[in-house]
A and B are shown apart, each in its own frame.
Chain A
Amino acid sequence: MQNDWTKPAAVAIPEGGFFKAKVEQGRYGPIFPKTPACYGFSILAKIKPGTKQNFYDYAMRIEKAVAETPDCLAVLKLHYLRWVLFDIGKDTYFMYQGIFDTDFDKYTEDAVSIFTRTGLRTVFENLEGFPEDWHTNAPAFIKFVRDHQCPSFLEYGEYPYVSADEVKKALRLKAAFSNMLDQMQ
């Protein structure tokens, strides 16, 4: 059973990121499959020389944006996001990795809108090849993301396929029960 959260699961993914027999078509192209680690992306791109500090500045801005508006990324149905910089030779690369509950295709336009509103744009604009007209050209933005997506070949979930909403619901329930028991003392 795919939704049995009690049983940890791993899935090996063929080269290219798709199970050829069951590729689901999204509005902007084929959708990378859902795995025990839910949906996700790993976008890797080279940064423009001399822009490294912009990434650290941007991190401060995101920290502030989320602190001020905690639900500013809610529409993306996220579990986790990770931003990484690393060097290969003299070049610096950026990795943006996310785990979320809906295929990225579904809320692409919402993501573009969030990029505009929260200043997330600034980091992508420091990547080589990122389309300058991205905010008026959603297809170009999507193409960049797809071109720089490095699909997993293996994914694992300790509590497979469980959504962030389900986790939050369970924690709320736990809190409610704890509160109820406290009141019974």
Chain B
Amino acid sequence: MLEFDDIQHFLLTRPRAMAARYGFLTIRNAAEGRAWLSGIIEKVGTGKVVAAGAAGDTRWVTVAFTWNGLRGLGVDEASLATFPEEFRQGMAARAEVLGDTGANHPNHWVDGLASPDLHGIVILFARDVAERDRCVREHQQYAARFPAVRALSTLDLEATPPLEYAHDHFGYRDRLSQPVIDGTGEVPTPGSGAPLKAGEFFLGYPNEAGVTQALEPEILGRNGSFLAYRRMQEHVGAFRQFLQQHGRSPEEQELIAAKLMGRWRSGAPLVLSPEKDDPALGADPQRNNDFNYAKMDPHGYAVPLGSHIRRMNPRDTAANMNRRRMIRRGGTYGPPLPEGAPEDGVERGIAAFVGCASLIRQFEFAQNVWANDRTFHELGNERDPIIGTHDGTLEFKIPKRPIRKVIKGLPAFTTVRGGAYFFLPGKRALRYLAGLTTRG
């Protein structure tokens, strides 16, 4: 039985938030850090509380820490040593494994995200911008009492119009394929697979291999998850220019955009609608995820083998998929670039979290093998066209009868501007952290 009254709501619920702020923190003094944490714990919503108050709530708070942050709060070395190696190292140190090279390298990261001084994050989701700003002011007043808990940086996020559905700055509909956790009562949409064991996402429960992951002491790990944060700039001007360069008509351009993703920008999957867009299909959760590759599109004539969704969720063309699934949360930042407007040089993109129980087995595998392995599916010289690391030397192949189309010199449509690994503790663990007295 999942402890909904202890697990932070972040990976369990998805309240309708139109604005957010991520506050990145450094803790200069353990006792003061714990005092700050003590006062904020009551604001942190659990799965149970947030689900119950879904209609009336206007803001949702989440707190998580880096390994350095846990040390900064006074967690002892024996306990710190029980955290997985990749988490202890932190995302910046794992850059090569993740493919964060060239322009994506941590040397270029912003917000202090590559710094060992990054200790924690407060994630605030709010119903709208006004509510976010009110909460920010309230927290600023509170935090002023703890000068040793300092903001390294902040990032404000707002939904990108049109607001009727979630999508990124490129215009792709988002939140189409998310795993369902066993025990939540949620029913998977057709094509989404059976619910996954809670241990794939939360420590303290059996995972798909029947193993229960834990930390020492048990209270610290139980109901916790690991988060991989990625701030990814989207080069909307370059993306639109690319579509114009490779598509003679607006229809052809839409098809190229769809081939890169594996879905039309409306969300309609190419497997089910290979020739033309079908917005009604894209918007219908009972149909828009109901497809496979091995039987329905083995050669990639609909969805190219190297397209984004075929890499990030190979469905029935990969082994042990149940051990690789992740839960995504996040949103868009920066102003939208109006259609037809030239690139304005303003940074815009996605700032998202990937939640899982094992960063190395789930998130790092997806980055290392699915996104950035050039030989994935025997492709030879490709990476994920949307989130892979690109320097203009790779290609993208679109299977087509009689002869495939090869786009050479694929540009980078995104740049990683920062990232970090966080541990998202349960609420009892937050109280345990706040109550530590071992160090000063």
* Cross-chain contact A109 with B365 (CB below 8 angstroms): yes
A26-B97, A27-B360, A165-B378 are contacts. A106–B323 as well, Cβ < 8 Å? no
* Cross-chain contact B378 with A106 (CB below 8 angstroms): no
Q: Please name the residue on chain A nearest to B324 by beta carbon.
A: A109
Shortest beta-carbon distance, B22 to chain A, in Å?
A: 26
Which residue of B320, B364, B373 is within 8 Å of A110 (Cβ)?
Answer: B320
A171 to B170, CA, bound (A): 42
A59 to B288, CA, bound (A): 46
* Cross-chain contact B209 with A27 (CB below 8 angstroms): no
Interface residues on B, range: 20 to 34
Residues of B328-383 contacting chain A, CB below 8 A: 360-361, 364-365, 368-369, 373, 375, 378
- Indicate if A6 sits at the interface (CB-CB under 8 A): no
A109 to B319, CA, bound (A): 10
* Cross-chain contact A106 with B319 (CB below 8 angstroms): no
* Cross-chain contact B378 with A166 (CB below 8 angstroms): yes
Q: Please name the residue on chain B nearest to A34 by beta carbon.
A: B375
* Contact bitstring A1-37, B, C-beta under 8 A = 1, else 0: 0000000000000000000000011111000000000
* Cross-chain contact B378 with A27 (CB below 8 angstroms): no
* Cross-chain contact A139 with B85 (CB below 8 angstroms): yes
A27-B97, A27-B365, A136-B211 are contacts. A109–B378 as well, Cβ < 8 Å? no
Chain B binding site: helix, strand, loop or mixed by DSSP?
helix
Shortest beta-carbon distance, A66 to chain B, in Å?
A: 16
A26 to B369, CA, bound (A): 10
- Indicate if A163 sits at the interface (CB-CB under 8 A): yes
* Cross-chain contact A106 with B368 (CB below 8 angstroms): yes
Shortest beta-carbon distance, A99 to chain B, in Å?
A: 16
- Indicate if A152 sits at the interface (CB-CB under 8 A): no
* Cross-chain contact A113 with B85 (CB below 8 angstroms): no
Q: List residues of chain A with CB within 8 A of the CB of B360.
A: 27-28
Shortest beta-carbon distance, B201 to chain A, in Å?
A: 16
Interface residues on A, range: 20 to 34
- Indicate if A102 sits at the interface (CB-CB under 8 A): yes
Shortest beta-carbon distance, A150 to chain B, in Å?
A: 24
Residues of A131-158 contacting chain B, CB below 8 A: 135-136, 138-139
A141 to B387, CA, bound (A): 31
A106 to B376, CA, bound (A): 11
Q: List residues of chain B with CB within 8 A of the CB of A165.
A: 378
Q: List residues of chain B with CB within 8 A of the CB of A62.
A: none
- Indicate if A75 sits at the interface (CB-CB under 8 A): yes
Shortest beta-carbon distance, B73 to chain A, in Å?
A: 25
Q: List residues of chain A with CB within 8 A of the CB of B209.
A: 113, 116, 135-136
A28 to B360, CA, bound (A): 8
Which residue of A27, A74, A116, A163 is within 8 Å of B364 (Cβ)?
Answer: A27
Shortest beta-carbon distance, A20 to chain B, in Å?
A: 15
A163 to B360, CA, bound (A): 26
- Indicate if B96 sits at the interface (CB-CB under 8 A): yes
- Indicate if B218 sits at the interface (CB-CB under 8 A): no
A166 to B365, CA, bound (A): 24
Binding site for B on A (CB under 8 A): 24-28, 74-75, 101-102, 106-107, 109-110, 113, 116, 135-136, 138-139, 163, 165-166
16 residue pairs of the A-B complex, CB under 8 angstroms, read A25-B96, A25-B97, A27-B360, A27-B364, A27-B365, A27-B368, A75-B320, A102-B373, A102-B375, A107-B319, A109-B323, A109-B361, A110-B320, A113-B320, A113-B323, A135-B211
Nearest 3 A/B pairs, CB to CB = A75-B319, A25-B96, A136-B211
